[in-house]
Structure 1
Amino acid sequence: MKAISIIGPKNSGKTTLGLQLAEALKDMGQTVAAAKFSHHGFDWQDADTTEYAKVCDTVAGLGPSETFVRWDKHNFFPDLFPLLSADVLIVEGGKTIGLTPRVLCLNGDLKDGTDWLEPDLAIATWGEHTLASIPAFDSVEELAKLVMNKAFLLPGLDCSTCGRENCKGLARDIVTGKVGPEACLAMHNSIKVDINGASIGMKPFVENIIAASVREMLRTLKGYAPGKATISLDV
């Protein structure tokens, strides 16, 4: 699953851009999920998530005291990945989450500057303001093409096996072109686990335990031979 975040100040048009981008991606034949962060919770008449639901295949909301698709408690963003099975995930808000590249929505008053938007994670800007080092877009169709080429989603394990302190550090290096998404060793190892089409990352320590256990059990089966094994499991 590819993912992109839309980050910007309050009332900068993030939802409008998210809806337009979702429609453009759907026109390209992609399935689209949306996740919206809110600092104030949801009143279940929330206009933004309602509008996303009209366009997207799946919609999730993450607030300070609840999460939906739906738990009556707070959950972490990566917990939702298996439930948001789609080709592309559009994330609105969540400026502290560094698991995806981001589009900066830069309309209105930027009195607080742009550093808090972490532009080193941005692949594009949208709106009346621009940043010299980041490509500016005014065509949703062209932005959708960029998303299909540049979007990625890291697992949020912060395991440091890639050599960076956390996933956000790796995301920065992917955005700047220093490495590709395959530098995430938690997602590119000897075991591939998909839940409802969403890849699940695992730390090398966990990978080694699972791999060793499965290999030893497979060796006891008739018909066993060394090679690449494919296991399908309902969970």
Structure 2
Amino acid sequence: MKVFSVAGITQSGKTTTIENIIRELRKRRYSVGSVKEIHFEQFAIDTEGTNTHRHKNAGSQLVTARGYHETDILFQNKLDIDHILSFYNHDFVVLEGVDDYDVPKIISAHNEEEVLERMDDLVFAISGRISNTIDELQGLPAINSMENIEKLVDLIEEKVYDKLPAFPEECCNECGYSCRELGSMILKGKAKREECVLENTKVKLQIGGKDIKMVPFVQNILSNAVLGVVSELEGYMKGKEISIHIE
């Protein structure tokens, strides 16, 4: 799954850029999901007095509203982005307004100052209203999504990589980079996605059918623990694959 963000301030053309990107990706037969961050303290989809609101007030920790044309699941807390993305299995997921997650980023802005305020090593393109007046800034292409969406999505296809695990540097760093640094190097063409050591792990764990990423240290603990037990069993063969399934 490839995840990227479109960041910028209100009225800079951010949502319009995302709409055009989604349409073009769907036109190219990709499955697409999106996440919208709401920067408003009082925001809530559920409103006071509804039946679902009454469920919540009674103490329900997860409320689902199922209608004829949609199903809404209402969590009673703010989920982190990794948790949210665990519900997605799309080719691309577009984040809008999310500023606490390290993924490739397009900046939408009115002017150069707004771009420079938000510039970091994960930005790979500029769009929004500023793209009406410039074609490039600090080596990054400025592409108008209204006039040249094909070029912008071509760049997304080229630059956006499969989501990295997002482990903190002190937990892994086996490839020589933090996950953020590896992402930056991939965008610059100085590294490849396959350099993440977790892509070639010999220890795989699934819970509820979902793959659980483990840093090499944890993999070694699990591997040694299993080998320590099964190597004492009759039928153990050194070097053969071991599979354990727990219901």
Q: Give the TM-score band, short-chain normalised.
A: 0.7 to 0.9
Over 3 Å counting, the alpha-carbon distance change for 1:140 and 1:69 in structure 2 is farther
Query: Residue in 2 aligned with 1:105?
Result: 108
Q: Write the distance in 2 (CA, Å) between the matches of 1:5 and 1:83.
A: 17
1:94 matched to 2:95: no
Moved more, 35-44 or 191-200: 191-200
Match of 1:144 among 132, 143, 153: 153
CA 1:172/1:201 → structure 2, altered by over 3 Å: closer, same or farther?
Answer: same
Question: Counterpart of 1:226 in 2: which secondary structure?
Answer: coil
Out of 172, 176, 179, which is 1:163 matched to?
Answer: 176
1:174 aligns with 2:178: no
Deviation string for 1:118-140 (max 9, x for gaps)? 24212222134341311232322
From the CA coordinates, give the structure whose radius of gyration is larger.
Answer: 2
In the alignment, the residues of structure 2 paired with residue 119 and residue 182 of structure 1 have an alpha-carbon distance, to the nearest angstrom, of 23
- Provide Cα deviations, 1:38-79, integer angstroms capped at 9, x if missing partner: 22253328xxxxxxxxxxxxxxxxxxxxxx964211222112
Aligned mates of 1:173, 1:223 — CA distance in 2: 43
Indicate the residue corresponding to 1:56 in structure 2: none
1:15 lines up with 2:25 in the alignment: no
Report the identity percentage: 25
What does residue 38 of structure 1 align with?
38
Residue 123 (structure 1) aligned with residue 127 (structure 2): no
State the shift of 1:5 in Å.
0.9
Compared CA separation, residues 177 and 39, structure 1 to 2 (3 A): same
Change (3 A) 1:172 1:27: same
TM-score, reference length from structure 1: 0.72
Gap regions ≥5 residues in structure 2: 47-71, 131-135
Across the aligned residues of Structure 1 and Structure 2, the Cα RMSD in angstroms comes to 3.1
Q: Is the CA contact (8 Å cut-off) linking 1:2 and 1:151 kept in structure 2?
A: yes
**Match for 2:125: what amino acid?**
A
Aligned residue number for residue 135 of structure 1: 141
Instruction: Compute the displacement of 1:163 (Å).
Output: 2.9
Question: Does the Cα contact within 8 Å between 1:33 and 1:89 map onto a contact in 2?
Answer: yes
Distance 1:149 1:227 in 2: 39
Distance in 2, Cα, partners of 1:43 & 1:37: 12
Other structure's SS at 1:94 match: coil
Change (3 A) 1:69 1:215: farther
